[in-house]
Amino acid sequence: MTETIFKPGLEGVIAGETAIAAVEQQSLCYRGYNIADLANNTTFEEVAHLLLYGDLPNAQQLSMFNESLAQFRHLPDAVIDTLRKIPTDVNMMDVLRTGVSMAGHFDPVKGESVDDLRRRAMWLMATCAGIVAARYRLINQKDTVDPLPGLNHSEQILYQCLGEKPSPTAARLLDLTLILYAEHEYNASTFATRIVASTMSDMVSGVVTGIGTLKGPLHGGANEAAMEMLSQFTTPEQADAWIHERFAKKEKVMGFGHRVYKNGDHRAHILEAELRKLAEEKGQQKWMAIYDAIKKPMVEEKKIFPNVDYPCGLTYYLLDLPIDMYTPLFVCSRVTGWAAHFIEQATHNRLIRPLSKYIGEPSRPVAPIAER
């Protein structure tokens, strides 16, 4: 008989193998490349190629990858009509989940070979970005904007939201967050997506599952929750008083802590350095003072470090993006990691089906209905 072990939340349990990313205290690597090296020397499209194809593209491969993305950027009218019909106060993650599900009925990629799955992943990348931008326009009572040939993925997202070419700073910072968010081995949404793949279901169902899982504030929803928290303060003193009240109530602070990283999140260090420059460039050091007023006691008194969502929330805020778009932007990136894991699971499959430990009523007979 197989030995059984029980770990609440699967903490510390190795639930499968992967060649896509390694999350360790000392480093984070995508397919053997250190995240800082990727952040300094690549674009999001190169990273997406790396995740889906196993290596960084050469110039010709990158150009073919970009052509495929460009070819997939137009959303079917039926999807835009659906987005228009959803009440404007519905959370954008819910809209994205519905939009991807609807778009799945118009999937232009046929077949299930590895190459088909990679092309479907590119279509999903373009589709998620298109849905987020279209919804942003529609809730602002504006017409949707057609993609502009020649823009990279980050520029395209911002262009289709704002209707004008973004500043180089905004495009570069969005690109950096997409690189940092793209992949993180067996996090909750990726594991959920792998479970879908393990049943031999389809990639769109896997991505819809990933979106629903990422939404929660203990996972990707933390970037919005962290900014909601910061936005209630106008001074660092208020933030300092609030955080100490929070400690007294033993309540969690969103954007801090991590199941794996116990000495800090590599991605947070990289992004925070850029956030500091952005705040200075924009004359918004006030926000960094509030940011630090929360971070300092968390680190010094609780030894709990910011995760990537903490600097990301404020970065998006300083780029003037509305808060309910932050987790959808996370999806626009993580969809590549989900797809890479879907392919890896599908091609080395074993159904994911753990056990549970029963803690309910002991065995009992069914009483006739008149006696219950």
Annotated catalytic sites, by residue? 258, 309
What is the number of alpha carbons within 13 Å of residue 187 lying toward its C-beta?
Answer: 26
Contact with ligand CMC (CB under 6 A) among 100, 151, 308, 335? 308
Residues in region 133-152 near ligand CMC by CB under 6 A: none
Q: Are 229 and 294 in contact (CB under 8 A)?
A: yes
- 292-295: long-range contacts at Cβ-Cβ below 8 A with a sequence spacing of 24 or more? 292/236, 293/233, 293/236, 293/237, 293/239, 293/240, 293/243, 294/229, 294/230, 294/239, 294/242, 294/243, 294/253
Judged by CB under 6 A, the number of residues near ligand CMC is 17
- CA-nearest of 181, 173, 165 to 276 is 173
Task: Mention every residue, 6+ apart, whose C-beta is less than 8 A from residue 241.
Answer: none
Q: How far is the CB of 250 from ligand CMC (least distance, A)?
A: 7
Q: Which residues pair with 29 in a beta bridge?
A: 22, 34
Selected binder of ligand CMC within 257, 297, 328, 337 (CB under 6 A): 257
Residue with token string 């006030």: 286
* Residue 239 binds to ligand CMC (criterion: CB under 6 A): no
**Residue 332, interface with ligand CMC (CB under 6 A)?**
no
In the complex with ligand CMC, which residue's Cβ is closer, 220 or 236? 220
The residue nearest ligand CMC at its CB is: 257
Interacting residue with ligand CMC among 274, 309, 324, 344 (CB under 6 A) = 309
Stretch that binds ligand CMC, among 15-23, 109-117, 130-138, 305-313 (CB under 6 A): 305-313
Answer yes or no whether residue 256 interacts with ligand CMC by CB under 6 A. yes
Q: How many CB atoms lie within 10 A of CB 303?
A: 9
Out of 42, 307, 315, 333, name the contact with ligand CMC by CB under 6 A: 307
Q: Binding residue for ligand CMC (CB under 6 A) from 104, 220, 236, 311?
A: 220
The residues that touch ligand CMC, with contacts defined as CB under 6 A, are: 187, 218-220, 222, 252-259, 304, 307-309
